[in-house]
Structure 1
């Protein structure tokens, strides 16, 4: 595996790494002649991100064999990219052979300086891929990053989970076309909660580029940290953000919305987040699985404050992979 980046592509790659580092700790690189895929999964297994880079994204791109895989620490790559991008002429990444223990990262700077780094590959890392067809998620909306940032600015900066409620648009003057609600999550397990709770009613025609929902109202509650990370990525790439979802307890998927068809773009990205089992509309679970009334044992505590989030690692291996099509690959 050998590839080289410069200019705007290098800036996009740096944004990708920064976003991935806010999701997980370890980065899996899967290189084939047709694409380079970057994957990460957070420690609680409730967030998964994938970024796909096509050969046309690179200055040069060479892969020997059907596929090359390796896994490295994201903080190590972030250290490589601490050099100001404006001073870098190009970045070259090379894995000498599929069994090599280290990946070489080389920065050629405009001042003639050359920096080389060797990042150790993790031994027998558990590489996982998540396949979730966004076309099968019935509800969705497209929003400009600056507009979503403006809406989120109404909530406390310490907010960790947010609820999106989608209803079918109506022409009723009393409703005023406000078919979407953003609500700060209220954890029922916390008594005497003094946090500020905010609710926003939104007219999709005014705030969104696109909006799709039919039938009964649905809601999804998910992490704000991961949303903001992906939002920053889309804003830096100057693309809108597309959110797809179904109902409480089912994953929410986020992807960039390109002006043209995504098939003609030389990169794509996907962020999938677990959502809470309990619907905030009815206060009931949408799954047959029991929802704990009290905090679970410490070894099952998630990164989120609520104990009602579907954590992928809490499910059995067979159930996990069949539910989300997440399949392990040993490298």
Structure 2
């Protein structure tokens, strides 16, 4: 789980004096900003159930945390993001249910002129949401709120992460489309391109990043599709940095896809920063390679907990097996490491890979498939696929158990 810090508590006297002051919040948003606002709410709703709102004269911030405390997201807006931004008092904070806010935003954005959110005072039990529609209709919603929320903060310095890459959302979506839609966790393995030995480079084309599906070894639900992608960061990523020994992080796919959809809809790149297994992975929008986010009127952050166990030495294959089992037209039954490397060299020279290499394997337990110990290659089928066009759509073949 993630280690979070609560908002510092104030003395009883300070709280009483603060409550004596009038505190109020009113914001209004329209146009493209309204679309970004609605996308933010939808993204947050895919992470947690409760939305904590903290408004100050300098920004409006949204926070949510999932029930297992493994995913934390925050989205902040500067005052110039809104048409009207008024905060009376040093700070206004409350929390509401995200499903209630999603119900308000079911009205299509194209039919809304503007949205207004109004908290009348700091002790109000409800917050007012008003939709002014282009048709002249006004929709008003009163949502119950908690005016004394337990807001938790997670601060991470980007400089602590030695490994990171920037990728276009549509490119990462294309890479993820090679995995099963039911996949729960995915592993990212980062290496130095120059550190790969020549033999390994011949097998995986010198690619420095690997995406690997994580299958729970304790799950005995039946067949599982194992997929591995070897990626050339020069071709697929806008920016890539990693030094030192290989590292890996395994985290949830659901939260990644939610944040990915948000970044793609906002037309910004996604920046992933990580350290090693067991340490959190940080995702943020990237507003241009030379932009630290200061020029944008909104910002976002998603932090995911990662598995404590590294997948680098778990016995899984680190390179795709040869697909044909032949060398120079003759059957090859040798399974030694030298023979595998030789077959990989032949395959690599015959089918040069410039961008991404894919390998998948559908496996199931013998008891469920009915195959004996001597089932051999008949119980599994592997496919190695090479693609030399970065814009070409990739499809996985059919596998039989």
TM-score (norm 2): 0.69
Matching residue of 1:263? 294
1 CA distance for matches of 2:83 and 2:76?
16
- 1:310-329 counterparts in 2 under 5 A? none
1 CA distance for matches of 2:155 and 2:221?
41
Matching residue of 2:185? 161
Higher relative contact order (CA 8 A, sep 6+): 1
| 2:50 counterpart of 1:38 | no
2 CA distance for matches of 1:103 and 1:59?
19
Matching residue of 2:140? 116
Deviation at 1:261, TM superposition (A): 3.6
Matching residue of 1:72? 96
- 1:147-158 counterparts in 2 under 5 A? 147-158=171-182
Matching residue of 2:229? 200
Larger Rg: 2
> Which of 313, 332, 340 is matched with 1:282 structurally?
313
2 CA distance for matches of 1:261 and 1:25?
30
- 1:215-234 counterparts in 2 under 5 A? 215-234=244-263
2 CA distance for matches of 1:250 and 1:33?
34
- 1:1-331 counterparts in 2 under 5 A? 1-122=25-146, 124-170=148-194, 174=202, 175-191=204-220, 193-259=222-288, 260-283=291-314
1 CA distance for matches of 2:147 and 2:35?
30
2 CA distance for matches of 1:107 and 1:237?
22
Query: 1:177·1:204 contact (CA, 8 Å) conserved in 2?
Result: no
Q: Deviations over 1:164-191 (max 9, x none)?
A: 0000122856253300000000222235
Query: 2:93·2:148 contact (CA, 8 Å) conserved in 1?
Result: no
Deviation at 1:70, TM superposition (A): 0.3
2 CA distance for matches of 1:192 and 1:56?
52
Q: What is the DSSP-based 3-state SS (H/G/I as helix, E as strand, rest coil) of the residue aligned with 2:226?
A: coil
Deviation at 1:282, TM superposition (A): 2.4
- Please, what is the CA RMSD of the aligned residues? 1.5
Q: What is the DSSP-based 3-state SS (H/G/I as helix, E as strand, rest coil) of the residue aligned with 1:76?
A: helix
Deviation at 1:133, TM superposition (A): 1.3
Q: What is the DSSP-based 3-state SS (H/G/I as helix, E as strand, rest coil) of the residue aligned with 2:102?
A: helix
Matching residue of 1:302? none
Q: What is the DSSP-based 3-state SS (H/G/I as helix, E as strand, rest coil) of the residue aligned with 2:311?
A: coil
1 CA distance for matches of 2:224 and 2:265?
31
Q: Which runs of 5+ in 1 are unaligned?
A: 285-331
Query: 1:103·1:121 contact (CA, 8 Å) conserved in 2?
Result: yes
Give the direction of change, closer, same or farther, for the CA distance of 1:192–1:68 in structure 2 (3 Å limit): closer
1 CA distance for matches of 2:231 and 2:311?
17
Deviation at 1:131, TM superposition (A): 0.8
- Residues matched between the structures, number: 284
Runs of 4+ more than 4 Å apart: none
TM-score (norm 1): 0.83
Q: Deviations over 1:51-87 (max 9, x none)?
A: 0100011011010111100000000000000001000
Q: Which runs of 5+ in 2 are unaligned?
A: 1-24, 316-401
